[in-house]
C-alpha cells in the first residue's frame, strides 16, 4: 500500500489554510451532508475558532488536497478550555502541565483515499510532531467506528 508520509506538509500560508477549509467543506458538508450551521456556506469554508491556533497538516496530489488533520497544542488556553468540556477524562491528567497535551481533530481524506494509508499517515505525523515538541499525551477525536482507519 502507498505511504504518504513524505508528502505531508504543514500549512504555512493563508492560501494553504483556506484550501484546507474549502476541502473540509467539500468533504463534510457537500459529500457527507453533515449539518454545520456555523460553516461559511457563502464561501464554502469549514473552519472554527480552534483553527486560529492550530497546526494544519495536509497532503495534496495534482494541486488538490486529498487529506488533512488539525493539531491543537495544549499550551493554548482556548484549546484546553474547549477540550475540558468534552469529558475526555482529563481530570485524571490534571497533575500534568497543559503543554504536554495535543489534540487532533478534523482528520479527513477525500473518498478515493479513505481505504489507503493516508489517514494513518496523517495521524502518525501529528503524533511525531507532538513528540518532537515534548507532548506526552495526544488525543484524537473520531467516532469509534473510524478507529480502524488509524491502525494496522
Tens-place pLDDT, residues 28-68: 999 989 888 889 999 999 999 889 989 999 999 999 999 99
Ranges of beta strands (E only) in the chain are 9-10, 55-61, 64-73, 101-109, 137-140
CA-wise closest residue to 45 among 103, 106, 104: 106
* C-alpha–C-alpha distance, residues 48 and 29, integer Å: 14
pTM, 2 dp: 0.87
Domains delineated in the chain? 7-147 (3.40.630.30)
Amino acid at each position: 500500500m502507498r505511504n504518504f508520509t513524505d508528502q505531508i506538509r504543514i500549512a504555512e500560508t493563508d492560501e494553504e489554510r483556506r484550501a484546507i477549509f474549502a476541502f473540509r467543506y467539500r468533504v463534510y458538508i457537500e459529500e457527507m451532508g453533515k449539518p454545520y450551521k456555523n460553516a461559511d456556506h457563502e464561501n464554502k469554508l469549514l473552519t472554527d475558532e480552534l483553527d486560529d491556533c492550530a497546526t494544519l497538516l495536509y497532503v495534496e496530489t495534482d494541486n488538490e488536497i486529498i487529506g488533512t488533520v488539525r493539531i491543537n497544542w495544549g499550551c493554548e488556553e482556548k484549546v484546553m478550555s474547549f477540550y475540558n468540556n468534552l469529558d475526555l477524562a482529563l481530570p485524571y491528567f490534571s497533575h500534568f502541565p497543559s503543554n504536554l497535551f495535543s489534540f487532533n481533530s478534523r482528520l479527513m481524506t477525500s473518498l478515493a483515499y479513505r481505504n489507503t494509508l493516508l489517514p494513518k499517515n496523517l495521524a502518525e505525523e501529528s503524533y511525531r510532531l507532538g513528540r518532537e515538541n515534548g507532548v506526552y499525551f495526544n488525543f484524537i477525536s473520531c467516532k469509534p467506528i473510524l478507529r480502524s482507519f488509524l491502525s494496522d
